[in-house]
Each structure stands twice: as structure tokens, then as C-alpha cells.
Chain A
């Protein structure tokens, strides 16, 4: 209990430090976000806010963070702010700060003394060692704030007084690109604010073990926040760019549905982008119907090939085979198949299947190759699902006097079904978006004017192989392949869309299909897992 009281008292005393560090964090977050806004080109670098250019404002933000940190560190050392620092900031922190200072020293030396390794290298090393010592030797409150504050003040000050402005460029000899101040400053500021947030987080919790935890959480949290931000941005880009194309001419009641036998036409959904051909003379709004149908056939074929194989192998491995050399070989082979790059599957299909089946790109080879890719995932997930069926179920069934196969069929497989289905859905999500092997064994014309009529092309003959299907043996299009050919083919044949617009529309449809499958897969897994734990 005494411990709790002391903590609360300490917390009550350190309101000044708490306030200052919260303020610093706030400024850091704002500066961080502002630099991203600049990096993503949402605002012009030369814009001015309150008479200061945006870049200078970023510099001022860094200076505020740095100054605040220095104040906190010194204040804590002189006991104006109540904290509980450790005796040293630790070697890890020291190494990080030392490296940063070495970079600062090296840059400064190249600017002043010229680009000669014999000159700038020792300066960088000396400054780096200095930074390391300043971080490690004094008490933690000074060691973990002052080196950061120094860097931020230097960088921020340099930017704020206009040392680097939007027009300034750095073109190093080793790089073909040049780095303009308008981009370099936001990038540096992003890293600077991350550093600042780390130190401010430490200070907020009064240094020591608690402080390190808070600092680390702020750092990791902002990195993850950035990662999710990237994900959201990617999705937003596709949706905003593709929505207009996808909805061209679409309406809820514009279409006509003819009711058979009665002769009445009812208002129906009209969706030309999904339901029209891509090429063809009389198509007003080109659509992705051939690609959608092609993708459906590919997925259907891959599932019919891979699911029985995968489940069969999983049953054999878990129920029949004794653990030994053979099962190990199968495991290695499965994991090998799982990590084989998709383009290698394409090469294999090109060398093995194409000359023996169709002599050129064809749907059926595409189905088989995607089936090969789906197989390991089905095997792994259904094997896990079968292993998760409790042995008690098997014993109970065996005690009824039925054979092993009857147990497998009526007890094990039904219990393992949910896990297997989830695995298949996730796997289908993966192969539905797969493009690389399709380039080698599947793809046909870039803008097809009809979709593959697989069902109507079966033909019987007296010659072996007795059943033929011309449609299955000819190339087609699929959503990811359509996107690729839209990118690589030159000008779009119709005026209504540009190539890029049609590409965004296709990307959105593809994304909806794949993400929809993933959402169903992930959702069903959560559902079954919850049901299992109830």
C-alpha cells in the first residue's frame, strides 16, 4: 500500500513536468502530422501560415520540442521537477544518440571542411563519442533529453532561420537523384519528432522504469499508427480513384429485367462497368465482365483441383501415417511449395503443362497452376484443423465399434470442416489476386470482347481424349491480368476512359473481390474460434 501512496504523491507533485511534457508531445504530434501533409503533397511547400513559410514553421515546431525537452531535463536534474530517474539512460540509448550525433558531426564536417573521408570521418567519430558520453555518463533525466534536444534545436533552428528552404537542393555525387529541401525537411522532421516523442514520453512518466515504458510505448505506437495510416491511405487511394470509373452509368433502376414468359420488363440494377465487355465495337461503357468471368473460372478450377488433394493429404498425414521420415518429407515439401515464388510456378506451368495440354496460354493451365499454389495452404490449414479435433472424439467413435475410416468420415472431417473452409477462403483470396504466373500461362488479348463460354464448348468425339473443350484450352482474361494489361498496353481503345482511369476501376473491383474474400475468411475464423472457446 505504501508504494501506491508514494506514487500518487509523486504524481501530484509533478504536475509542472507533466504539463510541460504533455505540451511537448502535443507539439510533436502536430509537427509530425504536418510533415506528412507536406510529404503527401496535400499542401504546397511554399505556402505561408501567419507570415512564416510552412517549412520554417516545422523548424519552429522542432525548436519548441527540443527547447522543452532541454528544460525538462535540466529542471529535473536541478529538482525543480519531481522525477525518479535511473542513474544512467542505458547503453542502447547511448548508442542510438551517439550514432545520430556522429551523423550530425559528419554532415557538419563535410559542409565546412569538404568531402574528404580523412577529414570528416574523425570529426564524425569524435562527435559521435561525445554524444554517447553525454547520454550515458549523466543521470538519466539529463542523458536521455539533452542529446535529443541538441539535435532537434540544431536541425529546427537551421530550418527555422531559413538555412534550408523549399528551393534548396542537395545533390550528392553518389546518387542519381537530388534531394530538395521541400521533401528533405519533412522527412527529417518526421524522424526528429519521433525522437522527441520518445524522450518526452520518458519525461512524462518521470523517467526510470516507468518512463522508459511510456517512451517506448509512444515510439512503437506511433510507428504502428504510421503503418495503419499507410494501409488506410492505400485503400483510400484505390476507392477514391476507382469509384467514379466503376460507377459510370450505374443506377439502381436504369436497367431492365425481362421477366420470362410474361413479357413484362421490370426496372433493374444497371451496372455497365461490371456487366459489359472490355473491347468490342458496340460497347458504350467498357467493363470488366470477361475478367470477372475468367477469375471465377480460375478460382473454380483451382478449388476443384487443390481442395480434394489438400484435404486427402492432410487426412493421410494425421490419421494414417506414422510420424517418421515420410511425414517429414511431406512437411518440407509443403512448406517449400508454400514459399515458392509465384513466378516460379508460372515457369513450371510453362515448361510442364503448356506443351502437354494446350500448346499455348489457356484457362485450364492457369487453373492447374493456381491450384498448385492453393494446395499447400489447404493442406496446412486442414491439417491444423484435423489435429485440433480432440482425441476423445476419435476414441468415443472407435468405442462404438466402427472402423477407422467411418470415424474419419463421420467424426473427424465434420469437426475439422470450419477450419478447413476458413483456410480455403483465405487461400482463394490469395490466388484470386495472383498475376505473375498468369502472364506466362494464361493471359490473352488485353481488351477481350467476349468472355470464355466454357459450359457451352464441351464436345464429344470418338477420338481420344473423347471430351474436348475449346474454351478451356484458349487464353482468357482475369481481373489481376486485366489490370496488368491495362497498365502495359498503350492507349485505351475507347474515349470514355483513359488507361489509368480504367485501371483504377479494375483495381477497385479486384480489391473488393479479394478483400471481401479475406473479410469473410477472417470473420469466419473469429466466429469459429469464439464458438470453440464458449
Chain B
């Protein structure tokens, strides 16, 4: 960041040249498009874009006339497809791309929009308040959800942190060991069985894990360890950890596989054993990919809903001490949405949307970090696959 700051007087001129260059380029493009495309195709593009925009706007307004621009879009496309198929196809693929981006934009916009009332009512306290001043004797972590107009997400944030931590402690070491096994140790036959098996494990629906957790794991901890309630953070975290395992194994294994064979052969040719090669060459070279896998697994664990919803007690509060994972409390950001979303109104609903925003931001941070880490790895390995 040692870029020289241009003198103030130069800025307007530079800006102007940049703008003119941009305008010129756009003009050139428009001219190219005009001269290369037939008039009918241009008309088709115009009508299609206008009808799509109208469709979106009318739908947003909740109008029942939405069907008209849809029909106009379909009609234009139908006529265009027969006469200018290439142009129609290009416009269609472009629109699908825009739609993909706009879905994410809409998700972000609506989450933020719907959470505004809660933020306005609670301010930053929505994410930080740990005592309820409306109570006679404000105790730590009690009555933070809906009592006296106070809505605070802190118990759920703590719950998500606890379950995610437990899940990560299980999924990360076992998952990385699994990746090393599949990619470096297992002979071909074993590998052909183990790898699809692990992928299959990723396919088991989360509600099924939750059902097993509820009927078997929860009961086991209740009967054998005398937990105060059927359902604890530890049992849920354990189950979520098992669920996040396949993600970690698959991504980390891909990363280890992406380490170029020449590097490994070089180490082997130096007389090192296969384990020495794995430990000192393959894992360090693939480390960023492996950590990307772990991060993705953490993201999965954080966003996991059903198993936790079914298994936890939905009692909100802070365990004391914080690391008492067998306490009677049990509520995370995801479970509160799933459990109460069906019949919440007004500010309660808005607070749930705020929980969604927190969740979304955390998972998105993890996702972007893991993408960055993976990108770095491909840079380092010279982009070879």
C-alpha cells in the first residue's frame, strides 16, 4: 500500500479521462452490437429485458398482473427462438446468470430488511445484552427472549459457538485422518470402497441423524451420565460433528490429491518412507486445502439445523460455567429459527431474521475465507491439478 497519492489538482483530469475512456468503450460496444445484430433480434432483446424487469417489479409489488409480462416474455422468446436462435440463446443464458446473482442479492436484502424492526427496537443490545433490565433481579442469561420487550440473541450465539466447537473438535482431527488415509495410505481396493462410503455418509439426511440422536444418543447420555435433561449441547455437538465429517474428508482429500505427484515422487526418491513423505511434503503442501476443508466443515456444523432442533431442549440461557456442555440449556441460532419460525409474529419474527443474519454472515465469512485459502494453494502449486 505504498502507492503514491496523486496531487489534488490532477484528480479531476484523471477522473475525466477514465470516465471518457469508459464511455468510449461502451459506445464502441453498443456500435458493435448494433452493427452485428439484426433489427428483429434487437427488438427481441429489448422486449425480453423489459418484460423480465416488469415481471420482477410486479411480483415484488405482489400484483396479480404479473402473469402478463411473463406471457409477453414467453411469447417473444418463442418467436425469437424460431427466427434468431443464437441471439435468443445468448440472451437466455445471460438472464439465467443474472437470476443466479440476484437470488443471493435478494436473500441478503430480505434478511436485512426483515431484521430492521428488531435492530431498531434493541440496538446493539440485540447481539450483546446478557442481562434483562426489565426483570426485578436481572440475572445473567435469564429472560432474554421476549420478556419485557427484550430480545437478545446472546444465548443462541453462545449455543451455536458451543455446538460448533464440539463438532469441530470431533470432525477436524478425524476428518483429516480420514483424508490422509483415503488419499495416501489406503491401497486401491480399500480406497474404492471407503471413498464412496464416505460420500454416502454425506447423503444421509440431517433429520435422520437427528432422529437417531433423539432416540439413541440423547437417551444414552440421560441414562448413563445422568444429564439433567434429555438433550444436551454435548450430544447435539457430537452428532453434528459426525455429520460434518464427510465434508471435511472429501475436501481435504481433494486437496491432498491435488499435490502434484512429482513433488511426492521426489521425496520418495530421496529415500524417505511414504509416511515421511506424507508428513513432511504432502500435508504441508496441501495444508491450505486441508484447512479449507476444515473451514467448510465448520460452516456446515454452524448451519446445521435439523439434528440440533430435534435434539436440544430449547431452553435459553448461559450454562455455568460456560464449558458445562451437559447443562439443561440448549438453543442455537438455527434451532430457534426452525422451532419458533412457524408461529412468530412482528418483532419476534424480526428477531428471528436477525438470528438468520448473524448465521448468514458467519457462514459467509467462513466460506469466503476457505475460498481464499484454496485460491492461495492453487497459486502456490502453480495451478497444476
| Residues of A participating in the B interface, judged by any CB pair closer than 8 Å | 41, 174-180, 182-183, 209-210, 212-213, 216-217, 219-221, 223-224, 226-228, 230-231, 234, 237-238, 308-313, 315-317, 319-321, 329-330, 332-348, 350-352, 355-356, 372, 375-376, 379, 403-406, 408-409, 426, 429-430, 432-436, 439-440, 463-466, 480, 483-484, 487-488, 500, 503-504, 507, 510-511, 514-515, 517-519, 522, 526
Contacts and interface: CB of A to CB of B under 8 A. Distances in A.
A310 B94 CA distance: 11
B227 A176 contact: yes
A228 B190 CA distance: 12
B363 interface: yes
A514 B201 contact: no
Nearest to A519: B200
A313 B96 CA distance: 5
B288 interface: no
B305 A209 contact: no
A425 B212 CA distance: 26
B203 interface: yes
B276 A213 contact: yes
23 contacts: A178-B226, A212-B276, A227-B174, A311-B96, A312-B95, A312-B96, A338-B367, A339-B303, A341-B304, A342-B303, A343-B359, A344-B359, A347-B352, A351-B114, A372-B103, A375-B103, A405-B85, A406-B86, A436-B206, A465-B64, A465-B66, A465-B67, A484-B306
> What is the size category of the interface that chain B forms with chain A?
35 or more
Given A344-B356, A350-B341, A511-B208, A227 B178 contact: yes
Contact of B97 (A213, A330, A350): A330
Interface stretch (B20-28, B40-48, B105-113, B150-158): B105-113
A80 to B, nearest CB: 25
A396 B201 CA distance: 42
Contact of A483 (B64, B204, B207, B227): B207
Interface string B29-69: 00000000000000000000000000000011010111110
A309 B100 contact: yes
Contacts of A351: 110-111, 113-114, 353
A180 B174 CA distance: 26
Contacts of A334: 100
Contacts of B337: 343, 346-347, 440
Given A375-B100, A483-B207, A526-B196, 20 more contacts: A176-B328, A212-B276, A213-B274, A231-B197, A237-B212, A308-B96, A311-B96, A312-B92, A313-B97, A313-B99, A320-B90, A338-B367, A340-B363, A341-B304, A342-B303, A345-B107, A433-B204, A434-B205, A435-B206, A436-B338
Contacts of A330: 97, 100-101
Interface in B170-217: 174, 177-178, 180-182, 185, 194, 196-201, 203-212, 214-216
A448 B21 CA distance: 64
Nearest to B181: A224
Given A313-B96, A405-B85, A522-B200, A340 B178 contact: no
Which of A221, A308, A339, A526 has the most chain B CB within a 10 Å cutoff?
A339
A320 B299 CA distance: 33
- The SS class assigned to the A binding surface is helix
Contact of B207 (A224, A435, A440): A435
B6 interface: no
B205 A379 contact: no
Q: Which 8 A-B pairs have the closest CB atoms?
A: A433-B205, A341-B303, A312-B96, A177-B326, A213-B275, A316-B93, A405-B86, A518-B203
B364 A336 contact: yes
B273 A213 contact: yes
Nearest to B216: A237
Contacts of B384: none
A344 B107 contact: yes
Interface in B66-124: 66-68, 85-86, 89-90, 92-97, 99-101, 103-107, 110-111, 113-114
A466 B66 CA distance: 11
Contacts of B338: 343, 346, 436, 439-440
Nearest to B245: A227
B174 A238 contact: no
Contacts of B60: 356
B111 to A, nearest CB: 7
